[in-house]
Structure 1
Amino acid sequence: MTARQPQPRDEAGTRAVRDVLGLVLLPAPLLAAALTASFAGGGTRRWFGGGRSESLRAEAQAAKDAAAAAFYALDTAQRDLRISIETITAVDSSPGARRAVEEFAALGERIDAASHAYITAVDSYDLDRDDLESSVATRARTELDTARGELEQVKKQLDRFERDLGPLLESAETQLARLAPAVERARQALLSASTALDAVRGSGLRADDLAARLASLGPELTRLNEGAGRHGVPATLQRADGVLRDAEAVRAEAERLPERAAEIDKRLVSLRTRAQALANRARQVEPVLSELRRRFSAACWQDLQPVPEQAARGVRQAEEKLREAAAAREEQRWPDATALLSTVRALLNSADEAVSAAGERLRRLDAVAKDPQQETERARFAIRDAQRLAMAGRHTPDPRHARPLDEAVARLERAVAGLEGRHPDYWHFLQETEAVRGVVAGVVEQIRGERGGAGH
């Protein structure tokens, strides 16, 4: 972890942190009168005697000035560091931040002790007295030097603490830097959503659900306006991000609402037309079934017997849901209209598949009845191709591949044999040849997968 170098803080920077956090700094434990007296030098001094006594007085005074400078430096550093601690605690509640607060409090006790020793030393000696004795001057210098040394030692500890505090402070200041822009973006997003909603309503669309969603963000805006000083920086940042996201969603949906309404209108017309066409097609299923019954065995068409009723019922249900969707559109219940149209589409798809299945069945049975050999050769070609792949680079096939291919050959032969007789089951034959091709395709995929893996 790189130590953060202490940076000087000007008065404007201090005010900025106070303004963001809404915090009030506590006064440092110092005595202004003692500090003022230390630098004032006691006013006009009358010097009597000379020689050794005056030299000792001067040394004592120099020690007093040096101690005062150390006291001032420590006090300034403590004040600046208190701002850093308050910045961190406003943003960070982690164990590391709590430890930093505890360490700063312990340092404060040492600072108080050193400051008290310094002030006591200053108050104990009047270096401006005309009758200052040499022994007193010497004792004053010694005690002031000791006080200065202690102040400087505590200042070094404070400096080390500030360097170690760097990463926490940098993270906190980064979050503070995000705070004001994040809150402003949230406010602007709410304003944009409100403007978009007004425009939509002006076009004659109610958008009641969007208005309710926008209104629900009002309390969140109130909390944002109350500030991070009341709710904390992390919570305020999270709230600002949430308001921004929700407000932008409302704005986007409001701007798209006219397009959505037009799209629903278009789907209503399209699905109504499709339902009418499907109703006409459903009436053609019965003639197809009659043709199947006349030309093919019962096994080829029995499963299609319910299709006419299924198709008609599907169309009726779709038309009923269409009427409900149209009513929802008229009442501007957009989610309901969209959901109902999806239901209509599903019903029509199901009916369409049933109607198409009858016609497709007749087409496929016609084709295989005319030339069953073509379907047989398709399956045999697939088997031979898979057998060649299974033998590629081998003297004997892998049993895992050979066994299903042999079973596919036997299954195909049984299907071909089933066509013999007066009323062959062509539909069973088609299902079996399709199943054979599926099994063969699975073996081919397995072989290629194994060889591809071995190549890697």
Structure 2
Amino acid sequence: MTAIPEQPYSPSGPRVHRTRGVLSPPSWPRRRTVRLRRAAGPLRDTLALMALPLVAAPVLAAAFAGGGTRRWFGGRAENQRAEAQTAKDAAAAAFYELDTAQRDLRISIETITAVDSSPAARRVVADFEALGRRIDEASHQYIEAIDAHDLDRDDLEASVASRARTELTAAKGELDRVKRELDRFTDGLGPLLGKAETQLARLAPAVERARQALLAASNALDTARGSGLRADDLAARLAMLSPELTKLNQGAGQHGVPQTLERAEQVTRQAEAVRAEADRLPERAAETDRRLVSLRTRAQALTTRSTQVEPVLSELRRRFTAACWQDLQHVPEVAAENVRQAESRLAEARTAREEQRWADATALLSTVRALLNTTDEAVSAAGDRLRRLNAVQKDPEQEIERTRFAIRDAQRLAMAGRHTPDPRHAHPLDAAVARLDRAVDALEGRHPDYWHFLTETEAVRESVAQVVALIREDRGGSAG
């Protein structure tokens, strides 16, 4: 019995089939096969004789008694011959059982080594090789005992038959001992073998999923092209997966089971991504067309609105101090430049869409949208500024009361359940009151800065809101 063959396990090669779905047993060594047939021959003859009907017994007896080619000696020699033949049959059965168990174990070892390259797996291989040498020694002892004695000789002496029985019995005993060692070794392979068989069980489905994902991606790409979309970038990505498919088809025997599993999962993910984008391509083209039209319309509307900024600025300059409008001085120029850039990017996006460079078209449209948002905010700021200044100039008391209400509400919250407020809450609220008073006093001048007043009241309300959040956080923490 020989050690593990050096060629790697290949699920896709001629050794794929196995009763348990793993591997097929290697061919026996020719020398051992021939000798096994010789050794097992008497065992088969004995079994065949036992299987004959009883009615054939007299016929056989007559055949042996009358004119047979072999002389039969009675007495002790024949008894020794029969005992030797029984020992030979028993040894042949033990040899056959050990050889079968070793072939099954070799399948298990090859299963483990095909999947696992860990130190534990390498130790198992080394132990199996050592066990194989023990099996070879026991087998050699058995075969020598078989070759040394011809129990079918007519002149077989009783002493020779007795010696043959002794040697064959010893050979069987050694075969049985090695078989028990092999069984114990096999029992210890459970965890490694289970893990390996699990991975092998995943292998075929994983490779099949990868193939199906590639097929689905190819079909989706064909459908997209059928609708007039080139999808060159998707086709290039799909073409890059072709070498990976070749490696999958070459099998795990060449590239290893873990590596093949990882490759199959990676191919599946990438192919599914290509398929999803190919399926979405018609919708993406329609969405790009809608955005082009929408942003073009918005750019035209902002061009019209930006022309209205200058009259608003003129009124702000005429009615309010410079501090109220000087930060808006450049809004018309900035709006015009932003719209010009947006229109230029729109033209580039349209070209990219016509060339079906979808990523470029999407990026350009995002830039256009950001430019138009900035322009919209600047143009709206001028009109909003004029409305707020008109309102506070007409009735500043409304803004004052709104701010005082926020302060009083925060003060009530700070005093809830307390006789004296927490200094961390009281000091910011006192500062807010003083800041509001200063902002109100600033309105008494001949040319009050209403914009400064509005920004101050807004800042006061923001600081008060921070105190309220702090109070609630403190009380929430203490309650917890």
Deviation at 1:137, TM superposition (A): 4.5
Deviation at 1:130, TM superposition (A): 5.2
- Report what 1:176 is aligned to: 200
The separation in 1 between residues aligned to 2:326 and 2:161, in whole angstroms, is 124
- Report what 1:48 is aligned to: 73
Residues 386-405 of structure 1: pairs in structure 2 closer than 5 A: 386-405=410-429
- Report what 2:32 is aligned to: 31
User: Which of 290, 295, 312 does residue 266 from structure 1 map onto?
Assistant: 290
Q: Is residue 2:228 matched to residue 1:227?
A: no
* 2:87–2:168 CA contact under 8 A, matched in 1: yes
The separation in 2 between residues aligned to 1:259 and 1:170, in whole angstroms, is 48
* 1:205–1:332 CA contact under 8 A, matched in 2: yes
Deviation at 1:289, TM superposition (A): 1.0
Residues 324-363 of structure 1: pairs in structure 2 closer than 5 A: 324-363=348-387
TM-score (norm 2): 0.84
The separation in 2 between residues aligned to 1:320 and 1:227, in whole angstroms, is 54
Q: Which amino acid aligns with 2:459?
A: A
- Report what 1:9 is aligned to: none
Q: Which amino acid aligns with 2:35?
A: A
User: Does the residue aligned with 1:262 lie in a helix, a strand or coil?
Assistant: helix
Q: Which amino acid aligns with 2:91?
A: A
* 1:29–1:112 CA contact under 8 A, matched in 2: no
Range that drifts further, 218-227 or 26-35: 26-35
Deviation at 1:315, TM superposition (A): 0.6
Deviation at 1:353, TM superposition (A): 0.6
User: Which of 394, 397, 406 does residue 373 from structure 1 map onto?
Assistant: 397
Deviation at 1:396, TM superposition (A): 2.6
TM-score (norm 1): 0.88
Deviation at 1:310, TM superposition (A): 0.7
Q: Is residue 2:424 matched to residue 1:415?
A: no
Deviation at 1:370, TM superposition (A): 2.1
The separation in 1 between residues aligned to 2:160 and 2:403, in whole angstroms, is 120
* 1:60–1:127 CA contact under 8 A, matched in 2: yes
- Report what 1:73 is aligned to: 97
The separation in 2 between residues aligned to 1:360 and 1:404, in whole angstroms, is 30
Consecutive unaligned residues of structure 2, counting only runs of 5 or more, are: 1-13, 46-68
* 1:281–1:355 CA contact under 8 A, matched in 2: yes
The separation in 2 between residues aligned to 1:149 and 1:172, in whole angstroms, is 34
Q: Is residue 2:191 matched to residue 1:190?
A: no
Q: Which amino acid aligns with 1:367?
A: A
The separation in 2 between residues aligned to 1:433 and 1:440, in whole angstroms, is 11
The separation in 1 between residues aligned to 2:384 and 2:70, in whole angstroms, is 121
* 2:23–2:107 CA contact under 8 A, matched in 1: no
Q: Is residue 2:347 matched to residue 1:323?
A: yes
User: Does the residue aligned with 2:228 lie in a helix, a strand or coil?
Assistant: coil
- Report what 1:144 is aligned to: 168
User: Which of 230, 236, 240 does residue 260 from structure 2 map onto?
Assistant: 236
* 1:228–1:236 CA contact under 8 A, matched in 2: yes
- Report what 1:203 is aligned to: 227
Residues 277-288 of structure 1: pairs in structure 2 closer than 5 A: 277-288=301-312
CA spacing shift, 1:285–1:23, aligned 2, 3 Å: farther
Range that drifts further, 266-275 or 216-225: 216-225
Deviation at 1:406, TM superposition (A): 2.4
The separation in 1 between residues aligned to 2:173 and 2:30, in whole angstroms, is 19
Q: Is residue 2:317 matched to residue 1:293?
A: yes
Range that drifts further, 262-271 or 349-358: 262-271
Residues 304-315 of structure 1: pairs in structure 2 closer than 5 A: 304-315=328-339
* 1:84–1:169 CA contact under 8 A, matched in 2: yes
1:248-304 CA-partner distances (Å, limit 9, x unpaired): 222222222222112111111111111010011101111111111122111111111
CA spacing shift, 1:398–1:372, aligned 2, 3 Å: same
Q: Which amino acid aligns with 1:84?
A: S
User: Which of 106, 112, 115 does residue 130 from structure 2 map onto?
Assistant: 106
Deviation at 1:65, TM superposition (A): 2.3
Q: Which amino acid aligns with 1:50?
A: G
CA spacing shift, 1:80–1:20, aligned 2, 3 Å: closer
The separation in 2 between residues aligned to 1:124 and 1:193, in whole angstroms, is 69
Deviation at 1:108, TM superposition (A): 1.1
* 1:56–1:134 CA contact under 8 A, matched in 2: yes
The separation in 2 between residues aligned to 1:416 and 1:354, in whole angstroms, is 29
Q: Is residue 2:447 matched to residue 1:428?
A: no
- Report what 2:147 is aligned to: 123
User: Which of 112, 119, 133 does residue 95 from structure 1 map onto?
Assistant: 119
Aligned-pair Cα RMSD in Å: 2.7
* 1:97–1:168 CA contact under 8 A, matched in 2: yes
* 2:414–2:471 CA contact under 8 A, matched in 1: yes
* 1:115–1:151 CA contact under 8 A, matched in 2: yes
Q: Percent identity?
A: 73
The separation in 1 between residues aligned to 2:268 and 2:291, in whole angstroms, is 33
1:406-439 CA-partner distances (Å, limit 9, x unpaired): 2222222222222221122222222222222222
Q: Which amino acid aligns with 1:246?
A: Q
User: Does the residue aligned with 1:157 lie in a helix, a strand or coil?
Assistant: helix
User: Which of 258, 273, 279 does residue 255 from structure 1 map onto?
Assistant: 279
Deviation at 1:208, TM superposition (A): 1.6
The separation in 2 between residues aligned to 1:370 and 1:397, in whole angstroms, is 37
* 1:207–1:254 CA contact under 8 A, matched in 2: yes
The separation in 2 between residues aligned to 1:24 and 1:119, in whole angstroms, is 22
Deviation at 1:218, TM superposition (A): 1.9
The separation in 1 between residues aligned to 2:190 and 2:149, in whole angstroms, is 41
CA spacing shift, 1:163–1:91, aligned 2, 3 Å: same
Range that drifts further, 334-343 or 367-376: 367-376
User: Does the residue aligned with 1:418 lie in a helix, a strand or coil?
Assistant: helix
User: Does the residue aligned with 1:205 lie in a helix, a strand or coil?
Assistant: coil
CA spacing shift, 1:358–1:153, aligned 2, 3 Å: same
* 1:23–1:229 CA contact under 8 A, matched in 2: no
CA spacing shift, 1:291–1:73, aligned 2, 3 Å: same
